[in-house]
Amino acid sequence: MRYSSIWTALVLAASAVAVPSPKTSLRVKESIAAPRGWVKRDVAPRDLRINLRIALPQSNFPLLEQHLYEVSDPSHERYGAHLSQAEVNELIAPRPESVENVKAWLAAHGIHQEDLSHSPAGDWIKVTIPVGLAEEMLDAKYHIWEHSDGDTLVRTTSYSVPEHLHEHVELIQPTTLFSRFRGMKTTSHFVQNKAPSAATTDAPAINVPSASNGQVDASCNNTITVTCLKELYNAVGYTPLANTGNHIAVTGYLDQFANFEDLQLFFADQVPAAVNSSFNVISVNGGQNNQSEPGGEANLDTQFGFGISHPIPATFYTTGGSPPFIPDIGTPTDTNEPYLDWVDFVLSQPNLPQTISTSYGDDEQTVPFSFAQRVCNSFAQLGARGVTLTFSSGDSGVGDGDPDPATQECFSNDGLNRTEFLPAFPASCPFVTTVGGTVNVPETAIFFSGGGFSNFFAQPSYQSAQVEAYLAALAPGTFAGLFNRSGRAYPDVAAQADNFLIFFEGQPTDIAGTSCAAPTFAGFVSLLNDARIRAGMPSLGFLNPLIYSLKGAGFNDITTGNNPGCGTPGFNATEGWDPVTGLGTLNFGELKGLIV
């Protein structure tokens, strides 16, 4: 139906549907205080179109979660028996009465079946409507909000739905989501025109007992290359196959484009066998891969993720929609929730890469709990289907998005302005493997490595023994009141995160951040999947129950360094798991022997 006719059809549509009047039975569904840094500006134009998403409760998610843990637990008889897309969709499909009630409500506002789109399981209903209609439906007032960094969003801080729909609607967005979804590379360490990596230094090799042949080239203390990583993580000499069905992918957002010419320069410098090979590009929600505008984040993720795992087939997901949003005639739709577009897309695909790396996130408290929980549940669906998801832990230590610990503002967003550590999301989701950062050879924790404890998600049982041991060793009163001791703890693992040599705009460039660590770890996971598939075994899927069960085996424990923030020195890296480097960095050779 044409939305210009909706306004005149509202009364007729409402009278034809036997549901309580949406104007007389509304009750607040969600209300928040705007996150720090956001200022309300103008009223949003009523004719501005927004992509409204309505989440219906997933009928059997607890059963899906049970399946996820069973197929991910190496001690369980179902280990590796991943679910199909159809099996997952059946478990999360909403109840028919939820679908019927929500559609009746929409019809009362002149929105009918032909106007809607649905997720494969039917647990999301999506429709594009004018702001004016959304305000009437939700008893909300949308404004243009501006962040101190210049980003703008069209949002409301409160919305309502009819009383009888509260049990049938989990959340509606875009409403209260103020997340900015940043890349996890440091802005303070991006140096172009660094010398290529062709020659090693004259300094003697560094003795590292866990490394390949017990040594790492001395140049790796100044410049990290694919060769450095394979030496350090004991993978020299392992060559995967290209035709086993194994696949790796990285995600790109916010107009971050991966450049093919830069990739060839990187391969020529660091992975000569990969020259003239490339990766597949999959566009999500109109995402582009503009070769005239290469992105440092995208180049980093593709060059190292795919350089480590070559010749395993590789994909770059480029997802459209990015802030800043400027409501003008050239931008008629507010489309700056790209991450949800990507999740919707991948869940709709019958066949998925076994390993997917993402280097984006934001402070957990900028994401409404209902939204964070729903996105996290989507990751559980992917894990149940045999996908390993790696996420960067963040580049702000225990603090907020400011990479400088001295200028961080670590305040709660509940109106009380309590000083507290600020965990990151999606790093805090218990269904992903979160990767912190290290530096130097031998390795130590790097100062910006994000880590801590979720305020949203409870500590999962797979990590409770290691986390409780860490907390028990803390001096009494350490950071009292600054973090949630019972929350999901992260990171789970770590990898090098400084002095990575990539190629950007045709030039060698030095880059840092846990954006380096996540695709690095994912590249080695893809090699592990290669070994398992060649042995007739399923892919690893959701990693965390496995790696925590190994009790340190297959990992290099990092015991020095810390992650300052919020006016504190942050947590210390120490023996065993810690909220700076997790379980440590992987020893590929040892870990392969444990899982194949």
Residue 248 sits in the same domain as residue 276: yes
The pLDDT confidence band at residue 11, using thresholds 50, 70 and 90, is very low
More confidently predicted of 344 and 468? 468
Identify the domain boundary among 152, 178, 204. 178
pLDDT at 23 (0 to 100): 55
The pLDDT confidence band at residue 255, using thresholds 50, 70 and 90, is confident
pLDDT at 413 (0 to 100): 80
**407 has pLDDT over 80:** no
pLDDT at 7 (0 to 100): 36
Indicate whether 465 belongs to any domain: yes
How many Å apart are CA 349 and CA 81, to the nearest integer? 19
We report the CATH number of the domain holding residue 311 as 3.40.50.200
Q: Is residue 560 exposed (0-12), middle (13-18) or buried (19+ Cβ within 10 Å)?
A: middle
* Look-up of token digits 């000083």: 419
**543 has pLDDT over 90:** yes
Annotated binding site: 557-558, 576, 578
> Do 234 and 588 touch, CB atoms closer than 8 A?
yes
Measured CA angle at 363 (ends 44, 434), to 5 deg: 135
The pLDDT confidence band at residue 2, using thresholds 50, 70 and 90, is very low
**8 has pLDDT over 90:** no
Residue 161 sits in the same domain as residue 197: no
More confidently predicted of 329 and 347? 347
pLDDT digits (tens, 9 = 90+) for 257-307: 999 999 999 999 999 999 999 999 999 988 999 999 999 999 999 999 999
Identify the domain boundary among 123, 148, 178. 178
pLDDT digits (tens, 9 = 90+) for 89-122: 999 999 999 999 999 999 999 999 999 999 989 9
pLDDT at 274 (0 to 100): 98
More confidently predicted of 398 and 325? 398
How many Å apart are CA 445 and CA 88, to the nearest integer? 38
Residue 109 sits in the same domain as residue 237: no
pLDDT digits (tens, 9 = 90+) for 31-86: 998 888 889 999 999 999 998 999 999 999 999 999 999 999 999 999 999 999 99
| Exposure string over 399-418, b if 16+ CB within 10 A, otherwise e | bbbebebeebebbebeeeee
What would the two tokens of residue 27 be? Answer: 């009750």
Positions marked catalytic = 297, 301, 515
Q: Which domain holds residue 21?
A: 3-58+93-178
Mean residue pLDDT of the chain comes to 90
The phi, psi pair for 446, rounded to 5°, reads -90, 145
Indicate whether 47 belongs to any domain: yes
What is the bridge-based pairing of β-strands 452-458 and 444-445? unpaired
CB atoms within 10 A of CB 440: 17
Q: To the nearest whole percent, how much of the chain has pLDDT over 90? A: 79
pLDDT at 403 (0 to 100): 67
Identify the domain boundary among 157, 178, 199. 178
**460 has pLDDT over 60:** yes
**445 has pLDDT over 90:** yes
pLDDT at 474 (0 to 100): 96
**How many CA atoms are closer than 13 Å to the CA of 164, on its beta-carbon side?**
17
Residue 417 sits in the same domain as residue 487: yes
Residue 217 sits in the same domain as residue 250: yes
pLDDT at 223 (0 to 100): 97
Structural domains of the chain, count: 2
How many Å apart are CA 323 and CA 181, to the nearest integer? 9
Provide the whole-model pTM: 0.92
Indicate whether 82 belongs to any domain: no
Residue 117 sits in the same domain as residue 245: no
Over range 412-430, report the average pLDDT.
90
Indicate whether 63 belongs to any domain: no
* Look-up of token digits 């929600």: 285
The pLDDT confidence band at residue 409, using thresholds 50, 70 and 90, is confident
**13 has pLDDT over 60:** no
Over range 120-136, report the average pLDDT.
96
Annotated binding site for Ca(2+): 557-558, 576, 578
Residue 126 sits in the same domain as residue 255: no
**347 has pLDDT over 60:** yes
Indicate whether 80 belongs to any domain: no
Kindly tell me the number of DSSP H helices and DSSP E strands found in the chain: 14, 30
pLDDT at 190 (0 to 100): 59
> Do 466 and 576 touch, CB atoms closer than 8 A?
yes
Residue 242 sits in the same domain as residue 288: yes
The pLDDT confidence band at residue 181, using thresholds 50, 70 and 90, is confident
How many Å apart are CA 129 and CA 54, to the nearest integer? 13
pLDDT at 401 (0 to 100): 66
The pLDDT confidence band at residue 4, using thresholds 50, 70 and 90, is very low
Residue 171 sits in the same domain as residue 211: no
The pLDDT confidence band at residue 418, using thresholds 50, 70 and 90, is confident
Longest dimension (CA), the chain: 84
Residue 303 sits in the same domain as residue 406: yes
What is the bridge-based pairing of β-strands 49-55 and 124-130? antiparallel
How many Å apart are CA 543 and CA 539, to the nearest integer? 10
Residue 394 sits in the same domain as residue 474: yes
pLDDT digits (tens, 9 = 90+) for 357-401: 999 888 898 888 999 999 999 999 999 999 999 999 999 999 976
pLDDT at 160 (0 to 100): 98
Q: How does DSSP classify residue 193?
A: S
Indicate whether 397 belongs to any domain: yes
Indicate whether 538 belongs to any domain: yes
Residue 109 sits in the same domain as residue 203: no
pLDDT digits (tens, 9 = 90+) for 489-529: 999 999 999 999 999 999 999 999 999 999 999 999 999 99
pLDDT at 556 (0 to 100): 98
Indicate whether 116 belongs to any domain: yes
What would the two tokens of residue 230 be? Answer: 């394979």
